[in-house]
Amino acid sequence: MNIMQIMKQAQNVQAKLKATQEELAKMEIVGEAGGGAVKITCDGQGKFKSIKITSDAVNVDDESLEMLEDLISSAMNQANDKASKEMEAKMKQATGGLNIPGLF
């Protein structure tokens, strides 16, 4: 393989990576807890977008408030985990399975 072919291949991978990152930024991934009482939405890069809490989840006593905080944490962790897996899968697809250190 000559240097021109390698350069062209690198440019193709770079273009695929940019497109993949743009696609991930547009995605909406939802994590939820408490049977859907708390839902967290983030993009495919794991950036927080929104939180939705059902009225059933909200009470003002200390025990319920602590439970709500735990549900929010659980939903955020689930959304981030899903986003990380989605980003890794998309990046592997974009690189054709090449393992590029620091990419994911």
Q: Is residue 52 part of a domain?
A: yes
Enumerate residue ranges in the chain where pLDDT < 70.
Answer: 1, 59-60, 97-104
| pTM of the predicted protein model | 0.58
Q: Is residue 99 part of a domain?
A: no
Q: Is residue 26 part of a domain?
A: yes
Check if the beta carbon of residue 59 is closer than 8 Å to that of residue 39: no
Residues spanned by the domain of 17:
3-94
**Positive/negative CA dihedral, 44, 48, 50, 56:** positive
Question: How many angstroms separate the CA atoms of 57 and 38, rounded?
Answer: 7
Question: How many angstroms separate the CA atoms of 8 and 10, rounded?
Answer: 5
Residue-level pLDDT at 91: 80
Residue-level pLDDT at 55: 75
Angle at 39 between CA 33 and CA 41, to 5 degrees: 130
Number of domains composing the chain: 1
- The domain spanning residue 71 has which CATH number? 3.30.1310.10
Q: Is residue 100 part of a domain?
A: no
Name the β-bridge partners of 31.
40
